[in-house]
Amino acid sequence: MSNATGKNSFQKNISKSKLIGNLISINDLRDKEYSGQYLSDEEKQALKNFDKYRLAQLSSQKSERDFHNKYIQLQAMANLSPYQEFLKENYF
């Protein structure tokens, strides 16, 4: 995928996000990063915090069912939560 194509894809994702209350999610940031776009220090920190939180949450699950349920919950969080949520202290 060319960088121009990646930028267009990211712009479409951001446009969709803005339709949902100006929300830019963790997954929007991942798309931005993968398309070669610049991430601010805050955006990079949010990704780092989410990844750390995700790993801790999944690792703490005691059963396959709990793991699956937590995985689905984390996917929803990455898609629907504003990335700024993961800058809060409880995600460090």
Each of the 92 residues of the chain gets a pLDDT tens digit; together they read 444 554 555 455 554 545 456 799 999 999 999 999 999 999 999 999 999 999 999 999 999 999 999 999 999 999 999 999 999 998 87
Burial per residue of 72-85, b for 16 or more beta-carbon CB atoms within 10 angstroms, e otherwise: eebeebbeebbbeb
User: pTM for the full model?
Assistant: 0.77
